[in-house]
Amino acid sequence: MTAPEAKPGFDAIVPPESLWRNEVSARVALRFAFRRPAMRAPQLNRPLLVRLSDKHATPPAAPAIKASKRAPRGELRHYPYGHFDIYHDPQVKADQVEFLERVVKEVPAPGR
């Protein structure tokens, strides 16, 4: 990510003592180049929650919006933040918990 918000945003969610390395192999770029989440969304038979930061610079929002609309059980939630700011808002977390509690209730117990 090369947007001005990327480095400070990323630094804010990774603790200084983290051993995680901000690296990826070059071959991963080939996978991202051909990834089209909206194309397979109509076949997705699971609940899908898409949380969209409306003020982010990367990645583009259009594919996520399209995927949420095309998925039979897709839901889209908009938040007035940049890409990394979404991780610090209690409402975003509450929305995710609400979604999980609601959709887990729909899952039948094994053997039923």
pTM score: 0.74
Cα–Cα distance, 76 to 83 (Å, whole number): 15
Output the DSSP codes for 54-81. TT--SS-SHHHHHHHHHSTTEEEEEESS
Cβ-contact 58, 10 below 8 angstroms? no
What are the tens digits of pLDDT across the range 63-78?
Answer: 889 999 999 999 999 9
What are the tens digits of pLDDT across the range 49-107?
Answer: 999 988 877 677 888 899 999 999 999 999 998 888 888 889 999 999 999 999 988 76
